[in-house]
Amino acid sequence: MVETHPFGNFVPDNCKYLFLGTFTGKITDPSYDWFFGTKRNQFWPMLESVFGVDLKTKINKQELFSKLQMAIADIILQCERSENSNADNNLINIVYNTNAIGKIIEKNKINAIFFSSRMAEKLFKRNFKELTSKYPEINLVTLPSPSPRYATITKLEKIIRYKELLPKLS
């Protein structure tokens, strides 16, 4: 079954940064209303620790990204899952979010793109070569995956890396 990304892209005014994930997990819970919302994903709890803010609601999350001047999008616009799993390696028949990501980069002065994982970085470098060639000054930064499946480092170690790499709140 073909799935289309349900959240679109979030682009605050004057954004300087872009955060890219791969594709949303399967939505099985109505409270999953924005990026990285599956119950097991560590993304929002880690950002709560990094920035010392409460991120329980979509509005709180959007406020944080606005303050950071950071857009958020996923690299994949549509796909199918080869298995009933949220794992990126099960995504097939992929349609990339090329137009939207291109517009975000072209219409904003993006200093850095942050990738949610090595897979996001790999997909971007392979499928968005025109953008990397056109904007070589944009820093590409890969963060440790917020997935609990990525257990090579602990959640605390991930938080430390996020604090080191993400922009600071002004």
Q: What is the pLDDT of residue 88?
A: 62
- Angle, CA of 164, 45 and 122, to the nearest 5°: 60
Contact between 60 and 45 under an 8 Å Cβ cutoff? The reply is no
Q: What is the pLDDT of residue 114?
A: 98
pLDDT tens for the chain, 170 residues long, are 877 777 789 999 999 999 999 877 666 666 657 777 677 778 999 999 999 999 999 999 999 999 999 999 999 898 777 776 556 666 768 889 999 999 999 999 999 999 999 999 999 999 999 999 999 999 999 999 988 776 788 999 999 999 999 999 87
Q: Any idea which architecture 3-165 has in CATH?
A: 3-Layer(aba) Sandwich (3.40)
Q: What is the pLDDT of residue 21?
A: 92
The H-or-E segment that residue 17 falls in is: strand 17-21
Q: How many C-beta atoms surround the C-beta of residue 74 within 10 A? A: 24
Domain borders along the chain are: 3-165
Question: Which structure tokens are listed for 79?
Answer: 């796909």
- Start-to-end C-alpha separation, the chain: 43
Contact between 42 and 59 under an 8 Å Cβ cutoff? The reply is no
